[in-house]
Amino acid sequence: MKTRASRTKESSGWQIISGGITAPQGYLASGVSAGIKKKGLDLAVVFSSQTASAAGIFTTNRVQAAPVVLSSENLKVSRGRARAILINSGCANACTGERGMHDSLMSTQCLASHFEADPSQILVASTGVIGSFLPVPKLLKGISAAVSALNSRGGTAAVRAIMTTDTREKCIAVEGRIGGKTVRIGGMAKGAGMIHPQMATMLAVITTDARILPRDLNKMLHHAAECSFNCLTVDGDTSTNDTVFAMANGASGALVGDNRSRSFFEKGLALVCEELAKSIARDGEGATKFVEITVGGAPDFEAARKVAKAIAHSPLVKTALYGEELNWGRILCAVGYSGVPFDPEEVTLNLNGIPIFRNGAPVGSTRARAEKAMKAHDLRIEVDLDCGRAFAKVWTCDLSHKYVDINGSYIS
Amino acid sequence: MKTRASRTKESSGWQIISGGITAPQGYLASGVSAGIKKKGLDLAVVFSSQTASAAGIFTTNRVQAAPVVLSSENLKVSRGRARAILINSGCANACTGERGMHDSLMSTQCLASHFEADPSQILVASTGVIGSFLPVPKLLKGISAAVSALNSRGGTAAVRAIMTTDTREKCIAVEGRIGGKTVRIGGMAKGAGMIHPQMATMLAVITTDARILPRDLNKMLHHAAECSFNCLTVDGDTSTNDTVFAMANGASGALVGDNRSRSFFEKGLALVCEELAKSIARDGEGATKFVEITVGGAPDFEAARKVAKAIAHSPLVKTALYGEELNWGRILCAVGYSGVPFDPEEVTLNLNGIPIFRNGAPVGSTRARAEKAMKAHDLRIEVDLDCGRAFAKVWTCDLSHKYVDINGSYIS
């Protein structure tokens, strides 16, 4: 991932560097085993040595996990300021009623006491089984251990602690210069939709040592998420726990305030978010293919993304990609029921650059070439609606036997 | 299916009888092998000895197959009158441009010439591979053979001829009395969403010997479909060819005109459509479970159906049902992202009558019983939103390894 990205994105003025959320200055992190999962790391803490501007984006699901409700409230109470983020895997603390809310609150109070911070400056996220309660004594003991383990290279342990059935660690860091000062943005993420039977959630944490006002950080994070995390789908199941946090602690001394620095910072943030989103699609449950769907010629971005998501959600398209079969009729069928108006006679469909359908009819001459292209691991589906100038990209994966294995036989 | 239905639906005044679309008087049908598929029956004709009132419901997909476009036009031109229906399997005649349109038109002209009828009184439907052209010479020869084979017990051959990878024939007939006369309604259907890789489509044909004005038949058919076929989902993929036809030829001499006869006829039509819809869900691709999802306490029918469909479309819910795992958090999660507003604290969730979730928390005491209930073949998921009095039922099946087999490795 890093090699590809650094080749293609250097022109933006941002350079990909090694590391993750602790690459920017003034952040410590840790990941410990608190015993919430049967084995392995399951508790992460991210700590900023100075109070940071903070922003959060949360699931749109009406059933929201306790930590989602609490973090959202905390960001309001603290007016977009935070000192630390606490994340556990192994238990989503969702559908747990008042007791779940109480457990989340207690965990933020416990962590805050270690830093002599206000509990409202602690953000919290959980991922794992829906409908079970947090093992509170284990959690509180784990928090102490995680605080003791905090260090400036702890990003690696932290990203491991938030994984559920992820098969790879997902982190990235970039470096650029603002006002003569070196600025870094780091990020980590977990998940692949609801990758595991009861292991819900996409989570992501972005850190930066730039100095940014909370309301600016919030705006930029929402914008970046719209074209990255919100363009990602594995199975179309929006979890009860989806959360993206961003912290900006100003430790680099570089101020992101004027239009020029903002525009530059946005590019770096977009790069971090897009690479994290793609890495989630690549690690989708049971994935054997990475699929980028580009829909162009649309009246607006929303319409383009709607069409791309209809394709990305279709079980028939996804199983065909898995089977490496050129069932392009399924792609056009999904475009047709997406709800976006267009003229089927004017649509063009390309696969990895090879024309498949145009002028209302199949392109017969490319069939053999296109069938061969289906064997590639990375697939690009390109649709042009010819009714506008907007476009959108969506990332997804195929639907394999292993997806059914993972999601159909977890307990047994 | 018949036994269950006749037990439960006798009170409506309609009795299930043996047979299908040729059970009502004045209908002939046949099914022949025209060589469109590699083997087996692939061409069906349904013929009414007198001109019948006719109605059709077609896919809402913007990419519409040629026969969908043509039949829709024919119903307008003929003002809702038809003599015959022509259906082929093995080729969807979708995404085939002008040539596809021409082929469909020619087939209706050919069939019309045999009956000295106007081509606009022929309805046509196709199901099968998207993006291939009809083998016209074979088709025309097949039409002659099908006309020669027409007979009053031909419903059985006809339903076989429209099957693709359906594993069972789906037909039903009911009998009731209107104005002292015996009236019958027959029906046949094929499909299970887009059951086969490129074998698209749900198709259904309803025949009756009642006398009904075209506009009344159209209205009643739409109403019946709304609570039956439109409450059915296998994989959420709306095909390019979905079609439901109804014919009413008046051969019984019974008039459906006043409110009382209309209301009675509607019950029979609803029974036929609902049983056909359920039989499609039961025969869903790779299905090992039949699932009925009831959402009640909703502000209106649309909202209730939206929630039920969110559950029915979730790959996570469907794989859990396949794995016989009580991952009820996934059901609540789908309710949450359905887009319908509700208070999560007030939702109740039952499985086969066993309470699982209420008052914002899991019902712990029923866990063992509910886990056992998951082993049943027929599953009832019941959600109450507690924000209204409307309800809806949706039928679906699980998502199994076999679904991926069927849809991922058709060509190879």
Structural domains of chain B, ranges and CATH numbers in brackets = 11-282 (3.60.70.12), 290-408 (3.10.20.340)
pLDDT band, very low/low/confident/very high, at B129 (cuts 50, 70, 90): confident
pLDDT the model gives residue B193:
52
A366 lies within 8 A of chain B by CB: no
pLDDT, tens only, A206-244: 999 999 999 999 999 999 998 888 888 776 666 778 888
A37-45 average pLDDT score: 95
CA separation, residue A333 to residues A23, A308, A339, B190, B240 (Å): 45, 12, 11, 19, 6
C-beta separation of B122 from B111 below 8 A: yes
The most confident of A1-5, A93-97, A388-392, by mean pLDDT: A388-392
Judged by average pLDDT, the poorest of A179-188, B131-140, B216-225, B237-246 is B237-246
Provide, rounded to the nearest whole percent, the portion of chain A with pLDDT above 70: 93
pLDDT the model gives residue B260:
94
Q: In terms of C-beta density within 10 A (0-12 exposed, 13-18 middle, 19 or more buried), how is residue A79 classed?
A: exposed
pLDDT, tens only, B239-283: 778 888 999 999 999 999 999 999 999 999 999 999 998 988 888
Q: How far apart are CA B309 and CA B190, in angstroms?
A: 21
Question: By C-alpha distance, which of B1, B7, B4, B24 is closest to B269?
Answer: B24
pLDDT band, very low/low/confident/very high, at A59 (cuts 50, 70, 90): confident
Judged by average pLDDT, the poorest of A297-306, B72-81, B191-200, B265-274 is B191-200
Q: Which residues numbered 70-99 in A keep a CB inside 8 Å of some CB on B?
A: 92, 94-99
C-beta separation of A43 from A87 below 8 A: yes
Beta carbons of A131 and B399 less than 8 Å apart? no
pLDDT at residue A199 greater than cutoff 70:
no
Question: DSSP for B161-218?
Answer: HT-SS-SS-EEEEEEEEETTEEEEEEEEEE-SSS-SSS----EEEEEE-SB--HHHHH
Q: Which residues numbered 1-40 in A keep a CB inside 8 Å of some CB on B?
A: none
Question: By C-alpha distance, which of A114, A85, A109, A107 is closest to A186?
Answer: A85
In this predicted model, which residue has the larger pLDDT, A28 or B64?
Answer: A28
The radius of gyration computed from the CA coordinates of chain A, to the nearest angstrom, equals 22
Q: Which residues numbered 183-202 in B keep a CB inside 8 Å of some CB on A?
A: 194, 197-198, 200
| Residue A200 distance to chain B (closest CA, Å) | 9
Enumerate the residues of chain A whose CB falls inside 8 A of the CB of residue B329: 92, 94-95, 129-131, 198, 200, 240
Question: In this structure, is the dihedral angle defined by the CA atoms of residues A404, B402, B159 and B78, taken in order, positive or negative?
Answer: positive
- Tokens (6 digits) for A406: 């993972």
- Which of B316, B324, B334 is the closest to A407 by Cβ? B316
Beta carbons of A408 and B345 less than 8 Å apart? no
pLDDT the model gives residue A192:
62
How many Cβ contacts (< 8 angstroms) between chains A and B? 228
What pTM value is reported for the model?
A: 0.82
pLDDT, tens only, B148-176: 999 999 999 999 999 887 888 999 999 99
> Mean of the per-residue pLDDT values for chain A?
90
Is the interface score ipTM higher than 0.85? no
